[in-house]
Structure 1
Amino acid sequence: VPGSEKPGYSSAYRSSHLPVGQPLVDKVAPGFDTVLSVMEHAFAHYPDRPCLGTRLLKKDGSDYEDHFTYATYREVQEKRNRIGSGIRTLVGRDEKFVVGLYSSNRPEWVVTMLATQAYDLIYTALYDTLGPTTSAYILNFTETPLLVVSKEKLRSIFQLKKNNGLPHLKFVVVMEPLDLEKDFGLVQVAESRGVRILDFNQLENIGRLNPLPVIKARPESTFGISFTSGTTGNPKGVEITQSMTAAFVAFSISSVYVTVKPEDQIRVFGFLPLAHIYEVCNLSMQLTTGCSIAFPPDPSPLKLVENLAIVKPHIVCLVPRVYTKMEASLKEAMSSSFVGRQLLKGIESKIEQSTDDGLPHSILLDSLALKGVRKKLGVSETSILISGSAPIGSETVDFLRSSLGTGFSQGYGLTESTSGISVSSPFDKEVTCGGIAITTEFRLRALPQMNYHTHDEKGVELDEPQGELLLRGPQIFPRYFKNPEATKDTFDEDGWFKTGDVARRDSRGRITIIDRVKNFFKLAQGEYITPERVENAYLAVTPFLTQIYVHGDSMKTFLVAIVGVEPEAFKTHLSRHRKTHHLARLPIEQVLEKVNNSPEIKKFILHKLDDNVKHEGLQGFEKLHNVKFMIEPLKISDDTITPTLKIKRNIAAKFFKDSFEQLYKEGSLLKNNKL
C-alpha cells in the first residue's frame, strides 16, 4: 500500500489481486454481508443436493453401514428452523443468549450451530481436552442456559453441574433419542440437578408446534464465541460475528480451487473437530458452495482411511500430525518390498522434477503403480490436500503431493482472524503460507531485540522483511467476550491486531511463520534464543518427529530438548543406517531406552537431525546439543500443552526439570570434549 510505511514497521501489504485503491473485500457479492444470508442462498440454490451425512448403525447393531446416509439441503434448512424455534420457545423469544455444544462431529452439531445463526443466538463449544475446570468456567462465564450434547457426555455434564453449580444451565438436549424406560435414571439425575433433559427429536417437535420466523441478524451481530486456550490463566473468548464469517467465505472461495467433473457435487469429509474455528470455517465454505459433507460416526483416527475410502472426497483438510502419520505409514509399507522401494525412487524423481506449475506425469508410475495407493487411502478423486493449525514439513508436503498426485496447500490463520487469511498455491515448491487474502491486509513490526528487521541500516525497507505479523480487515475479530483489557492489549493504536507470530514476507509476497514474539531467553554466552523458531525448524524437515520442546539455561551455553517421535517412522529411520539398523527390530520401548542410554547413538542421531536443518538458517548456538527421545512427551493431561497444542513453557520446564538436569549433566554431544 503506497505511503503506508512508518518507523519500526514495514509497509502495509494487500493481495495483488486487489486493484490499487480498491477496499478490502468483505463479502462474496452485494447482499451477502452476513453468514445467514450466505446460508440462505445455499439452501435456495441446492435444495435437493445431499448436505449432511453420517454412517448409520446396521439393523442388528453389529457395525456401521458401509455407506453414508445424507439429509438434503432442504431437509437441513427445515430442521434448522425447527431446532431454532424450539430453542427460542424453551429459553426465550426476545433475549440473546448462548447455546452450548458438546459432542464429536455429527449432523446435529451443525444443525444446532446453523440454528444460532438463523435465530440471532450465540453458540459456544466444549470439547474433552478442555477439562472440567475450564468447561465449568466457560459455561458460567457465558451464562449458558441450554446445552446440546451427545449422550456419552451426559454424566460428565451432570458431574460439572454438581461440582460447579452452573446456576444458568436449565436445559440439556441429548442428540440421540431417549428411551423412557432405559434412560429414566438419567432423567432423575437431571431433575435432581435442577435441569430439564429432553432429546433432539423432542426439541424439534417443540419447534414444529411453535414455528418462528428466521431473525435477520445485523452483520456486526455475534453468533459464536470460540474460546482460545491460553498458556496461562483462563481461556479468552473470541467473538465471531456474522460479517467475519461472511468475509471468510469470500476469502476461501477466491483462494481454494477444487477440480471436479462438471456433473459432480463436491464431496468432503468432516474429520477435524468442529469445536475449533478451522473446521467451522471449512464447514461454512463447504455449505456455501453446495458440498456434501460426511461426518464419521466414530471420530477415531484409526477409522480415517476407512471413511475416506467410502466418501472419496474431492478436498481433504487435515492437520500436520495426521499428514505426517500418513506419510510415515506409506513409507514404511513401501520400504518393506522391492516393488515398494522402486516406487519410493519414482516418487523421489517426481519431487525433483516438480515445478510451481505442477507435477510431472508418468503413465507407469501414476496411472498404474500409485493409482492403487490413492485408492487404498481413499483419495483417488482428491484434487487438493490442505493443512493448517501448525507448520508442516516440506518433506511431508513433497512426498504426499508426489505420491498421491494432488495439490497440497498450507494455510495460516487464528481464531481471532476467523481461521485462514492466507493459503499457498497447491504446487508451490517452497512450503509457505501463501499470499494474503483479498479480505485482509498485513504489516510487520520490527523486533530488533530478536534480530528481526523490516529495514536495512540505511533505513531502506528490505525486500524480505521479518517481524511480528499484524493484521487488519473484515475477518479480524472485534473483541474478546467480556474482556475489554485483553481486547485493548491485542490491538495497537491504528487498529492492527497483534498476532504474536513472527513472519517473513518473501519477494513474491508470501507469508512464512518463523517464530513467536514472547518466547525467548538468553544463554550464558549472551545469545538470545527463540525456542519456537528452533522447534519449527526441526519439525519442518524431520518426519519422524511429532513434538519437540527446546529448553535453555541462562547458566549454560547450549540447548537441550525433549523430543517426541512417531514409533514406526523412527524405527524406519534407524533401519536405514548401519550404526542403528539393529535397533529397528526391537519394540519401541526398548529402542528408546537403548537410544537414550547411549550417548554414542544419540550423538549419531543428533548429527542426522542437524544435517536436516542445515538449510533452515539456524545459527550454531541454535542447534540441539542433547536430547531425550520419548513417545508423546507433551500431553494435555499433564498440563504441559494446551488443547490447541501450544506448549505451556513454565509448566513444562518444571515437569521435565529432572530430565533437563540429566541432559546437562551428560553434557553436549556435539562438543568433542564431552565424548
Structure 2
Amino acid sequence: MSVKLPSIVDSDLDSLYAPDDRPEVFQNSNDLPLETLVNHILPISQDIGGRVLKVPGTAKPGFSEIFRNGAFPNGVKEYLLPELNTYHAIFESAVQRHPDRPCLAYHEYEFENQEHKERYVSVTYKEVNDWKNNFASGLVFLLETNPYKNLDLESHQKIINHARDYKSYNAYNLSFVATFYSGNRPEWTIADLACSSNSIATTALYDTLGPASSKFILQSTESPVIVCSKNKVETLVSMKASNPKELESLIALVSMDPLNVKDNNKDAALVKLAEKNNIKLYDFNQVVKIGEVFPREATIPSPDTTFTLTFTSGTTGANPKGVVLSQRAAAGAIQGYSMLLPHHKNMREFAFLPLAHIFERHISASMFLCGGLVGFPRIGGTPQTLFEDLKLFKPTFFACVPRVFSKIETTIKASTIDSSSRINRALYTQAIEAKRSKQASGGKGEHFIYDQTLIRNLRSKFGFDNIETCYTGGAPCAAESIEFMKASLGIGFSQGYGSSESFGGIVMSLPFHTPSVGTCGSISPMVEARLRALPEMGYDLTDEGGPRGELQLRGATMFSHYYKNPEETKKSIDEDGWFSTGDVARITNEGWFNIIDRVKNFFKLAQGEYVTPEKVENLYLTTNSILTQVFAHGDFTQSYLVGIIGVDPVSIVSFLKEECNVPASELDTEEKILKICNTRKVRTQLLLHLNTNIASALNGFEKLANLYIEFEPLRLEREVVTPTSKLRRPIASKFFKSQIDAMYKEGQILKDLKL
C-alpha cells in the first residue's frame, strides 16, 4: 500500500492546487484568471518540480517503485483545469486571452516572382482562428461535394456522416483522416488546428519515408485528402496513378501554395493531371474562401477524440507503426511542458524541426497556451539558411537535435577558446569560464561586462540575440557541451526525452538547474514511470548510483494503441496500462533520468561477453566532442568491436594538424582529409585519443578496436537511420559490410601499440 508523500499541495495555504486525488492541477478557489495561472504561477519551482520521487510500497517483483514528479508524487495529473482537456480548448483559450497578439510568423515570400523578402510577417491569434474555422468549413464542404466520392468506401461514408457521428469518435472510432505533407509553414499549423477543432483525425507524410511507406500510410488510413506544398502534388498524383485501387479513397489535394491557373500553364496542367486520376486539386486560399461562403458549426472534439496518427519509421525497415494520440494526450503534453519549462506571453519559438514528427508539434503547440509566437523557416529552407532566418526572426526559444547544437559549439570554439588569435583565446576563455562559474551557482549567471560585449557578439553571430532557452532531445548531449553552450551564449539549456508514444517530451531537465545538467531531468506531472529489471543485460534495480532497467510509462499523454496493429500493441502495453519504451534508463539517487541503452540491442562476442552497442555509442559521443556519429558493430564470431564513426570537419582538421603533424596544405579538400583519416597511422592515433577519453567507463572488450571514418556516414539517403536519427542497426550492418569486413581482416589496430 502506498504512502502519502509531501507535495506542492501541502505548501499552498490559499488552496490554489487541487487535492492529490483530482486530475486537475488547480482548484483555483480564488478564481484567478487563467492568464495568471499559466504565465505567473507556472512553471512550478525547480527545487520541487526538477526531480522525481519514488512512491514507497509500489514496487513489484522485477519492477521498481513508481516514480512521479516531486511536486505531485501522490497522483498523476491530466490538465491544469477541467476546461483545458483538449488541444482545441487550449487554442480557444489563447484566442480569447490574446486575440490581437501575434500567433504565427513567416519569412515573407512572393510566389509570383519566387523570391523571399528579407523580413518576417506575423498574423494574430484572431486571424489564425478565423482562417482555421474557414478552412475547416471549406474542406468539409469540398469533400462532401467531391464528384469522385464512392460511398462504398468507409472513409467516404465518414465524410458524409461527420456532423452526425463526431460525438461518438474515440481511439477506435475515427473520423476520416486528413494528411499533411510539406515543410514547416503557417498553413501546416492552420490546417492542423482546423482539423483538431473539428474532430478530424490527421496524419503526416515526410520525404524520408520513401514511396512504399507513404503508400502504406495512405492505404491503411484510407485518407481522402492531402494538404501539401505544391511541389508534392505531381508525386502524389503519380502515386495514385500507379496504385489506383489501393489509393481509391484519395480524392482531393489542397496546395498550400497558390495555384495561378491560366491557359495551358503548369498549374492548369496539374489540375488536369489530378482530375485524370479522380482527384480534385484546390489551393489553400480557395478552401478558405469556400469556407467563408459556406460556414458551418464546428464539430468540437472530446478528450477521447483521436487527434492524430503519427507514424514512426521502424529501425528494422518494417512498415511504420501508427501511434494513436487523443486530444487528451495532446492537452496533457502541452500543459506538462508549461508546468516545468520557463515560458511567457512574449515567447518567440522558431519551429525548425519537422512538424511531421511529434517533437516539434509538441513544442510549437505548447507556445499557444502561454500566448507565444511560432515562427517558421523560409519556404525551401535548409540547414544552411537556418541562421539567416534566426537573425531575421530573433526568437527567444529554439528546440533542435544535438547535431545542430554540436555544429554551433564547434563554430564557437573555433573562434573563441580554440582561436588562432592569442588575444581572442585569452579574452573568451576568461569570459566563458566566468560565465560557467556563475551559472554553476544556479540561475542565468549574468555578468555585466561580458554579457554586453563578448557574449553579445557570439549571440548575434547565430541569431541568438534574444534567445533565453534552448531545448534538445532525440540523442544524448554531453554535459560538457551543454555547460559550454550555456556559458558561451548566456542561455538556459534543457535536455529531454520522449517519443511518439508519449506525445513528445515528457522527461526534461530544467534549463537553469545546474545539478541536473547532462541528464534528462525530471518527469512531467502528467506521467509516471517505473523500471523493469534487465538482469540479462546487466541492469538491476539495486545498482549503485540508482536503479537501472527498461523504462515504462503510464499517464495522460500516452498513446492508446498502434493503429490497426493489435500484435504490436499487445507487445508494448501491459494489462495495467504500462508502456514498455524499449529504452534503458537509470533514475539517479538525486531523482533525474538518464537514458543509457536500448533493450535487446546487445550481442555476444566470441569469448562469451555481452555488449550493448547503444551504451558504447552514447559514451563515445558524450566523451569525445570530435565525434558526431558512432555505429558500433560486433558479432559472435569476433572477440572485439569495430566502429563506423562520423567526425566534425573543423575538429578533425585541428586534430590532424596538432596531433598527427599533417600539413595544412594536405587538408584543403574533404577527399584529402578523409583519405588521410583512414590511413592506419591516423586511425590508430585517433582511436587512442577516443579510448583515452573513455578511460574506465567501458570494459576493454566494450571499446572499439578499429575504425572507419567519414564526415556523416549515417545519412538518411542511405536508409541506415530513421528520420528521427535512430540507427537502423541491421540495415547499417549490411550497408557497411565491406568496411566492417575490412576492419576485421585488418584486426585490432591498438593491439600491438606500445603505450
Query: Normalising by the residue count of structure 1, what TM-score does the alignment of the two structures yield?
Result: 0.94
8 Å contact from structure 1 (residues 574, 584) kept in 2: no
The alpha-carbon distance between structure 1 residues 278 and 104, as it changes in their structure 2 partners (threshold 3 A), is same
Aligned partners of 1:153, 1:501: CA distance in 2, in Å?
35
8 Å contact kept, 1:668–1:674: no
1:660 equivalenced with 2:740 (yes/no): yes
Q: Deviations over 1:105-130 (max 9, x none)?
A: 11100010001111110111111111
Q: 1:534 aligns with which of 609, 616, 638?
A: 616
Residue 504 of structure 1 and its aligned partner are, at CA, apart by 0.3
1:367, CA displacement in angstroms? 2.1
Residue 56 (structure 1) aligns with: 108
CA distance in 2, matches of 1:374, 1:631: 27
Q: CA shift at 1:278, angstroms?
A: 0.4
Contact map agreement 2:445 2:490 (CA 8 A) in 1: no
Measure how far apart 1:343 and its partner are: 4.1
- Alignment match of 2:340 (pick from 255, 264, 268): 255
Equivalent in 54, 62, 68 of residue 8 of structure 1: 62
Instruction: Name 1:426's counterpart in structure 2.
Output: 511
The 2-side partners of 1:59 and 1:622 are apart by 55
Q: Name the aligned partner's letter for residue 204 of structure 1.
A: V
Which residue of the partner structure matches residue 19 of structure 2?
A: none
Residues 570 and 241 of structure 1: CA distance in aligned 2, closer, same or farther (over 3 Å): same
**Is the contact made by 1:54 and 1:69 (CA closer than 8 Å) also made in structure 2?**
yes
Name 1:272's counterpart in structure 2.
353
2:135 counterpart letter in structure 1: I
Deviation at 1:490, TM superposition (A): 0.3
Which shows bigger deviation, 193-202 or 349-358? 349-358
CA distance in 2, matches of 1:99, 1:60: 28
User: CA deviation digits over 1:633-673, x for unaligned, max 9?
Assistant: 12222222222222221121121111111111221122127
Instruction: State the 1:331 CA deviation.
Output: 1.9
Tell me, in whole angstroms, the C-alpha distance in 1 between the residues paired with 2:723 and 2:375. Answer: 24
Residue identity matched to 2:59: E
Structure 2: which amino acid aligns with 1:667?
G
- Choose 333-342 or 572-581, whichever is displaced more: 572-581
Matched to 1:484, the amino acid is P
C-alpha separation between the residues in 2 aligned to 1:609 and 1:229? 32
1:206 corresponds, among 290, 298, 302, to 290
**Aligned-partner SS, 2:118:** coil
For 1:495 and 1:362, locate their aligned partners in 2 and report how far apart those are by CA, in whole Å. Answer: 49
Contact 1:15/1:435, CA 8 A, preserved across alignment: yes
Q: In the alignment, does 2:150 pair up with 1:83?
A: no
Counterpart secondary structure, 2:440: coil
The residue number in structure 2 matching 1:155 is: 234
Question: In 2 relative to 1, CA 34–409 (structure 1 residues): closer, same or farther, beyond 3 Å?
Answer: same
Q: Which residue of 1 aligns with 2:681?
A: 600
Q: Of 307, 321, 333, which aligns to 2:415? A: 333
Q: State how far apart, in whole Å, the 2-side matches of 1:311 and 1:14 are.
A: 38
Please provide the CA RMSD for this pair.
2.0
Output the CA distance in 2 between the equivalents of 1:212 and 1:500: 45
Provide Cα deviations, 1:263-319, integer angstroms capped at 9, x if missing partner.
x72211111110000011111111111111111123211111111112221111111
- Residues 428 and 454, structure 2, Cα contact 8 Å, conserved in 1: no
How is 1:534-613 mapped onto 2 (pairs within 5 angstroms)?
A: 534-577=616-659, 579-580=661-662, 582=664, 585-597=667-679, 599-613=680-694
Partner Cα distance (1:85, 1:60) in 2: 28
Q: What residue in structure 2 maps to residue 446 of structure 1?
A: 533
**Cα deviation per residue 1:357-414 (whole Å; 9 max; x = unaligned)?**
1354444433211211112211122111110122112232122111000111101100
- For residue 87 of structure 2, the aligned residue among 18, 35, 41 is 35
Say yes or no: does 1:310 pair with 2:392.
yes
The answer to whether the aligner puts 1:17 opposite 2:68 as a matched pair is no
Preserved CA contact (<8 Å) 1:27 1:249: no
Deviations 1:51-102 (A, max 9, x none): 1111223699474222211111001001101111112212235332100111
**1:107-506 pair list within 5 angstroms:** 107-165=186-244, 166-181=247-262, 182=265, 183-232=267-316, 233-258=318-343, 265-298=346-379, 299-334=381-416, 335-346=419-430, 347-348=432-433, 350-351=435-436, 354-355=439-440, 357-358=442-443, 360-427=445-512, 428-429=514-515, 430-455=517-542, 464-506=546-588
Q: Are residues 1:637 and 2:689 paired? A: no
Q: Give the whole-Å Cα distance in 1 for the aligned partners of 2:406 and 2:235.
A: 33
Deviation at 1:483, TM superposition (A): 1.1
CA contact (8 A) 1:25 1:250 kept: no
Normalized against structure 2, the TM-score is what? Answer: 0.85
Q: Percent identity?
A: 40
Cross-structure match for 2:727: 647
Q: In structure 1, what residue type is equivalent to 2:695?
A: K
Return the letter of the residue paired with 1:43. V
| Contact 1:10–1:444 (CA under 8 A) maintained in structure 2 | yes
Contact 1:468 1:503 in 2 (8 A): yes
User: Structure 1 stretch 346-355 or stretch 145-154: which is displaced more?
Assistant: 346-355
Q: In structure 1, what is the Cα distance between the partners aligned to 2:296 and 2:104?
A: 23
- CA pair 524-25 structure 1, distance change in 2 beyond 3 A: same
In structure 2, the residue corresponding to 1:144 is in which secondary structure? coil
Q: Aligned-pair distance for 1:336?
A: 3.6
Structure 2 CA distance, aligned partners of 1:253 and 1:393?
A: 25
Counterpart residue identity of residue 424, structure 2: G
Whether the 8 Å CA contact 1:10–1:455 is kept in 2: the answer is no
Q: Residue 282 of structure 2: SS of its match in structure 1? A: strand
User: Quick one: distance in 2 between partners of 1:358 and 1:579?
Assistant: 42
Q: Which runs of 5+ in 2 are unaligned?
A: 1-54, 144-158, 163-174
